[in-house]
């Protein structure tokens, strides 16, 4: 009796049942677009937003899916107005937000805005705690935004909020859902930015469409490798209507080499993370633009048939399931509507050959051969059976392959069983019951 009483008494008020999606579901696929933070931090104004929006169109990025123009922190005045509303900064956004979002929409794009679940944003602009319904209506109906990125700074004292992480973000989730039900329009896409705290891959799908899985990204290889490492343990969580968010892309920024940038983009895309450009489009190089415009990689991210992303099947440098921020998992695979995807990451500081057996992936059929397509060189590399070696993969570089079934493998290939149980090598069995030891190759 005592246990039952304690469980009932400790239930927070928001746990009346799992929050339900709006009638209008949004965010089936990872969203793609632009976010201002990595390139400009707080140095934003309405002219920059509009020019960046126009560049998304003129550079051909909108045509291939980059359709969200997202404004991050620092767009407002430091205090709410006398009516209690957030107000756009009068100097940097003199026209106001609604004329700006109207212009963004006229370009065929969608518009995203930033908010915070606490008293303040991370840069000490007004947060939305205790103003969730007011702000949801402001952002969506009055200002015309289609997406809300919702941060985790300025947390109220425990004796004020009396909620956990789930309850804190449920407040705005419910406000967005209720507004949609009231006005009969699609809800804003809700992108939780809670830095991976308290395993959001287990609960955030009930509140929004994306959730951050780690702390903020940096424009350097150690940061990229660390994010890959952390996400290797919960990459399975992404699927339709709910995606791990690995943070805004740093391609084109900082110390990243071309090969590191390709790896960065490939991992984010094939893990089904949102793809948000975060570099200055006015000065973007052709090399950087070519990474963002790899439509074969984007096609995996935006697959309308298979919602899950790649997951690791072998760690490589380290024993499987090792937590190592310098050398994360190297060998990954996943399913897609057009075949099996393999992703190989060279975490070493020197070129390396990378070998894998097809049946290490759960998506491969035994006894078949496969046509191999390279998604970065955009070449068909021939038909292979049993295994494949990628030669001289650059330091911190990536290989992304699409394997398509090409029929039965040639007769007479040994060993008779490509896969074996590591604890007992003699479970390769002839139809007459004879055990065929794997290591004998017969």
Angle at 25 between CA 22 and CA 26, to 5 degrees: 125
**Do residues 126 and 120 lie in contact, with contact meaning Cβ atoms separated by under 8 Å?**
yes
Measured distance CA(377)–CA(169) in Å, rounded:
43
Measured distance CA(257)–CA(293) in Å, rounded:
17
For residue 314, give both structure tokens: 């072998």
Measured distance CA(35)–CA(56) in Å, rounded:
12
- Report, as residue numbers or ranges, the catalytic residues: 151, 216
Measured distance CA(241)–CA(100) in Å, rounded:
28
The secondary structure of the chain, three-state, reads CHHHHHHHHCCCCCCCCCCCCCCCCCCCCCCEEEECHHHHCCCCCHHHHHHHHHHHHHCCCHHHCCCEEECCCCCECCCCCCCCCCCECCCCCCCCHHHHHHHHHHCCCEEEEEEECCCECCCCCECCCCCHHHHHHHHHHHCCCCEEEEECCCCCCHHHHCCCHHHHHHHHHHHHHHHHHHHCCCCCEEEECCCCCCCHHHCHHHCCCEEECCCCCCCCHHHHHHHHHHHCCCHHHCECCEEEECCCCCCCCCCCCHHHHHHHHHHHHHCCCCEEECCCHHHCCHHHHHHHCCHHHHHHHCCCCCCCCCEEEECCCCCCCCCCCCCCCCEEEEEECCEEEEEEECCCCCCEEEEEEHHHCCCCCCCEEEEEEECCCCEEEEEEECEEEEEEECCCCEEEEEEEEEEECCCCCCCCCCCCECCECCCCECCCCCECCHHHCC
For the chain, report the end-to-end CA distance as a whole number of angstroms: 64
Q: What is the CA radius of gyration of the chain?
A: 24
Measured distance CA(275)–CA(259) in Å, rounded:
18
């Amino acid at each position: 009796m005592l246990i039952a009483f304690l469980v009932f008494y400790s239930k927070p008020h928001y746990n009346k049942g799992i929050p339900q999606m709006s009638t209008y579901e949004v965010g089936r696929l990872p969203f793609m677009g632009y976010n201002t933070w990595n390139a400009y931090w707080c140095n934003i104004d309405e002219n920059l937003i509009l020019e960046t929006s126009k560049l998304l169109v003129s550079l051909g990025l909108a045509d291939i899916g980059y359709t969200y123009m997202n404004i991050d922190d620092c767009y407002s005045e430091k205090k709410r107005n006398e009516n209690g509303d957030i107000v756009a900064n009068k100097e940097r956004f003199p026209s106001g937000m609604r004329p700006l979002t109207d212009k963004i929409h006229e370009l065929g794009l969608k518009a995203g805005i930033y908010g915070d679940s606490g008293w303040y944003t991370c840069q000490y602009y007004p947060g939305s705690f205790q103003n969730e319904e007011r702000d949801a209506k402001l952002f969506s109906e009055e200002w015309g935004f289609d997406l809300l990125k919702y941060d985790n700074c300025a947390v109220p004292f425990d004796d004020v909020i009396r909620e956990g992480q789930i309850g804190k973000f449920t407040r705005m989730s419910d406000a967005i859902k209720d507004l949609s039900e009231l006005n009969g329009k699609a809800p804003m896409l809700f992108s939780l930015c809670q830095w991976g705290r308290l395993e959001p891959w287990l609960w955030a799908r009930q509140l929004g469409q994306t959730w951050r899985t780690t702390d903020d990204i940096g424009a350097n290889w150690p940061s990229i490798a660390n994010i890959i490492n952390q996400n290797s343990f919960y990459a399975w969580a992404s699927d339709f209507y709910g995606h791990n968010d690995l943070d805004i892309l740093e391609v084109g920024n900082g110390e990243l080499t071309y090969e590191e940038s390709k790896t960065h983009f490939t991992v984010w895309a094939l893990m089904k993370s949102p793809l948000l450009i975060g570099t200055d489009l006015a000065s973007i190089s052709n090399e950087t633009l070519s990474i963002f415009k790899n439509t074969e990689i984007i096609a995996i991210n935006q697959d309308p048939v298979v919602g899950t992303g790649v997951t690791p099947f072998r760690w490589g440098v380290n024993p499987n399931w090792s937590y190592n921020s310098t050398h994360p998992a190297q060998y990954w695979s996943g399913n897609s509507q057009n075949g099996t995807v393999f992703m190989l990451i060279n975490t070493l500081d020197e070129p390396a050959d990378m070998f894998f057996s097809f049946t290490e992936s759960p998506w491969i059929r035994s006894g078949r051969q496969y046509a191999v397509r390279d998604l970065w060189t955009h070449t068909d590399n021939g038909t292979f059976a049993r295994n494949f070696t990628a030669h001289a993969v650059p330091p911190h570089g990536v290989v992304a392959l699409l394997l398509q079934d090409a029929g039965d493998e040639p007769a007479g290939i040994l060993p008779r069983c490509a896969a074996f149980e590591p604890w007992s090598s003699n479970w390769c069995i002839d139809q007459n019951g004879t055990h065929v030891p794997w290591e004998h190759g017969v």
